[in-house]
Amino acid sequence: MSTVNYDYIIVGAGLFGAVFARQMTDVGKRCLVIDRRSHIAGNIYSEEIEGIQVHIYGPHIFHTDNEEVWRYVQRFAKFNHFRYEPVANYKGELYNMPFNMNTFHQMWGINTPQQAETILEQQRKEITGEPKNLEEQAIKLIGRDVYEKLIKGYTQKQWGRSCDQLPSFIIRRLPVRLRYDNNYFNHPYQGIPIGGYTRMVEKMLAGIEVKQGVDYLANKAELDRLAEKVVYTGPIDAYFQYKYGPLEYRSLRFETEMLECDNYQGVAGMNFTDAETPYTRIVEHKWFEFGKGNVGKTVITREYSKEWKPGDEPYYPVNDEKNQCLYERYKAMAEKEPDVLFGGRLAEYKYYDMDKVIAAALTVSELENRSV
């Protein structure tokens, strides 16, 4: 006696789940999307406060070099021409990010790429051979001066580990440029969806059944019966009841304040790169939309990084060797799980950007289409 009502039950209404649900619905599959939270859009969820789109789970800037993904998102939102150009604040000294001629001018008082190259070459020599950790990678990339002022303290706060205990790939996300160019990302397409991320995901989920406030793992047996297949986008270790022990994540705490002023810091993101300031950055949300919002108001968020413990929201996977090995064990179990697809940042334990999540969901849905 089967009570199967859906082809897919999709656990998690974040980007992966929403894109997968959209794609499968469009080819005639019956999808049910459930989420533990009382809202859709996962961590890209945004909420309007005083006419300002507030990024509730931390700032998200959409950027991609993937034409297909860029075309895809245009179906659900128009994007503005925002460019992320954060400023680093080291004990009151301000530096442009990412590392570029402006930063080098501010750091060393030099003006030409040749002068910067000479200093960088000198400082990079400190590291011979393959960098073994983030500290060595950072010094090899950008020299000790920049490392000490703009990387060391920030990274230690963000990851709760010293830089010689962290994998080098994290820092390779940041560009180094011998040009005057403060654009944080190298990708050709960048912007913020006009009207907010939540509305974009709402459009992805248009016409699809969504149930909020439903805890999948607590009601697994009963929910599994509803569908042929499950798409799980939650933490992979939780799915397997932490059988091999918990994976480590970084969590975040946000302190959001509404202020009675038009302009608090004049930039969307300011990173506090010293070790003493307890927060990693302050985000002033209105600057993602060029100051749109009610007159005389602004909303800022101080972001504090902390170790994840049960009950906290997991944000960043800690992809060091120990955790990566543990993840591989869970992944091997996942591969044997019949009729369950694992996808997204938490289920794949991956430091995923939004465009990569969308690309992955498109690929998985195409594979599904071919197999049925």
Binding site for ligand UDP (CB under 6 A): 88, 97, 150-151, 154-155, 158, 170-171, 173-174, 271, 273
Minimum CB separation of residue 260 from ligand UDP in Å reads: 29
365 CB-side CA count, 13 A: 25
Nearer to ligand UDP, 273 or 323 (CB): 273
Axis-axis angle for helices 101-108, 134-146 (nearest 10): 60
Catalytic annotation on 6?
Answer: no
Nearer to ligand UDP, 23 or 280 (CB): 280
**CA–CA distance, 344 with 356 (Å, rounded to integer):** 9
Axis-axis angle for helices 354-371, 67-74 (nearest 10): 90
Bond into 314 cis (ω within 30) = no
CB within 8 Å of 61: residues ≥ 6 apart: 82, 84, 184, 185, 190, 192, 288
Catalytic annotation on 281?
Answer: yes
Catalytic option among 136, 177, 316, 368: 177
Minimum CB separation of residue 319 from ligand UDP in Å reads: 11
- Convert 319-347 to b/e letters by CB count within 10 Å (16 or more is b): bbeebeebbeebeeebeeeeebbbbbbbb
C-alpha distances in Å from residue 103, one per residue of 41, 56, 177, 301, 368: 35, 30, 10, 25, 47
Nearer to ligand UDP, 174 or 340 (CB): 174
Where do we find the tokens 């992809």? 319
Nearer to ligand UDP, 6 or 147 (CB): 147
Minimum CB separation of residue 78 from ligand UDP in Å reads: 23
Minimum CB separation of residue 96 from ligand UDP in Å reads: 11
Catalytic option among 303, 348, 355, 368: 303
Minimum CB separation of residue 325 from ligand UDP in Å reads: 21
Catalytic annotation on 335?
Answer: no
Catalytic annotation on 124?
Answer: no
Catalytic annotation on 225?
Answer: no
Identify which of 33, 30, 29, 37 has the alpha carbon closest to the alpha carbon of residue 17: 33
**DSSP reduced 3-state for 269:** strand
**CA–CA distance, 301 with 59 (Å, rounded to integer):** 9
Catalytic option among 7, 35, 237, 353: 353
Catalytic option among 71, 75, 173, 253: 173
Catalytic annotation on 253?
Answer: no
Catalytic option among 57, 264, 304, 351: 351
Nearer to ligand UDP, 174 or 194 (CB): 174
Max CA separation in the chain (angstroms): 76
Catalytic annotation on 36?
Answer: no
Catalytic option among 8, 154, 189, 250: 250
Minimum CB separation of residue 272 from ligand UDP in Å reads: 9
Minimum CB separation of residue 103 from ligand UDP in Å reads: 10
Degrees to nearest 5, angle at CA 304 with 301 and 307: 145
Nearer to ligand UDP, 46 or 273 (CB): 273
Nearer to ligand UDP, 23 or 273 (CB): 273
The two three-digit tokens of residue 66, written as one number = 């993937």
Residue 131's Cβ-count burial label (10 Å; 0-12, 13-18, 19+) is: middle
Contact 35, 232 (CB under 8 A): no
Active site members = 173, 177, 250, 281, 303, 351, 353
